[in-house]
């Protein structure tokens, strides 16, 4: 059984390109992203790590620490980072775990044997400051993830955590958000001074509170 939303993200110690880390200590009070890649020196993975590095400032602004993983060894990671920097016109500064013994891959169920016996799939976990799993994504090796979507879901998760609102389909930063069912319309009117638009008793919108 893999990890489910609301579970505590398992703690671990690991060797990374930025030295040995202890996962929960590394996260501290930040949000976190732990994401796996099938293998070093592969094309899709190269673009994914490059894109993540290019978006480093966006992750920093949202108080998110990023941690990548593949089951290849540390010296291979280090050589590959040079290629990522060169080809993707960036500098990778986040740690990449060298999970040679597949310890972390096992804890997070990142190897799906019917896809590959040896390599991790593209798993991604968003972890909250409470160390609980807030979101999981699983993509096959052949499809690169959309890191703007990852930022979008972090924005949504942080809005829910801070303001008790949800976000509708295809929501984008700056658009109206949804009042969660647990908040009555009476309370919502007090809580959201920018106004509450009631479409149905269960479908209520308010302007994004932190804009």
Q: Identify which of residues 28 and 79 has a Cβ nearer to ligand BEZ in the complex.
A: 79
Q: Work out which of 107, 141, 153, 157 binds ligand BEZ, going by CB under 6 A.
A: 141
Token pair listed for 22: 């202890």
User: Which residues, numbered 10-39, are part of the site for ligand BEZ (CB under 6 A)?
Assistant: 38-39
Q: Identify which of residues 114 and 142 has a Cβ nearer to ligand BEZ in the complex.
A: 142
Q: What is the nearest approach in angstroms of ligand BEZ to the Cβ of residue 118?
A: 11
Stretch that binds ligand BEZ, among 11-19, 43-51, 75-83, 172-180 (CB under 6 A): 43-51
C-alpha distances (whole Å) from 184 to each of 158, 189, 191 are: 21, 9, 10
C-alpha distances (whole Å) from 41 to each of 5, 70, 104, 203 are: 32, 11, 20, 48
Q: Does 115 bind ligand BEZ (CB under 6 A)?
A: no
Stretch that binds ligand BEZ, among 40-48, 49-57, 59-67, 174-182 (CB under 6 A): 40-48
Q: Work out which of 19, 20, 142, 186 binds ligand BEZ, going by CB under 6 A.
A: 142
The whole-angstrom separation of Cα 203 and Cα 181 is: 8
Q: Which of the residues 33, 34, 44, 45 is marked catalytic?
A: 45
Q: What is the nearest approach in angstroms of ligand BEZ to the Cβ of residue 140?
A: 8
Q: Identify which of residues 45 and 81 has a Cβ nearer to ligand BEZ in the complex.
A: 45
The whole-angstrom separation of Cα 111 and Cα 71 is: 10
98 in active site: no
C-alpha distances (whole Å) from 183 to each of 22, 41, 102, 108, 117 are: 38, 49, 44, 34, 46
DSSP letters, 30-57, are SEEEEEE-S-SS-HHHHHHHHHHHHTHH
Q: Does 45 bind ligand BEZ (CB under 6 A)?
A: yes
Q: Does 50 bind ligand BEZ (CB under 6 A)?
A: no
């Amino acid at each position: 059984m893999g990890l489910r939303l609301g579970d505590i993200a398992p703690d671990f110690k690991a060797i990374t390109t930025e030295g040995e880390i202890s996962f929960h200590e590394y996260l501290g009070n930040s949000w976190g992203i732990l994401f796996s890649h099938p293998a070093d020196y592969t094309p899709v993975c190269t673009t994914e790590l490059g894109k993540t590095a290019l978006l480093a400032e966006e992750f920093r602004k949202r108080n998110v620490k990023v941690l990548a993983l593949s089951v290849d060894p540390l010296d291979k990671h280090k050589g590959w980072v040079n290629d990522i920097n060169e080809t993707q016109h960036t500098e990778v500064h986040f740690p990449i775990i060298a999970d040679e013994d597949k310890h972390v891959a096992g804890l997070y169920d990142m190897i799906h044997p019917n896809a590959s016996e040896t390599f991790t799939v593209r798993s991604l976990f968003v972890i909250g400051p409470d160390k609980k799993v807030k979101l999981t994504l699983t993509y096959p090796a052949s499809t690169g993830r959309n890191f703007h979507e990852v930022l979008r879901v972090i924005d949504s998760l942080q809005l829910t955590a801070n303001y008790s609102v949800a976000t509708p389909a295809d929501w984008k930063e700056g658009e109206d958000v949804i009042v969660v069912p647990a908040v009555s319309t009476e309370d919502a009117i007090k809580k959201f001074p920018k106004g509450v638009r009631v479409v149905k008793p269960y479908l209520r919108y308010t302007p994004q509170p932190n804009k």
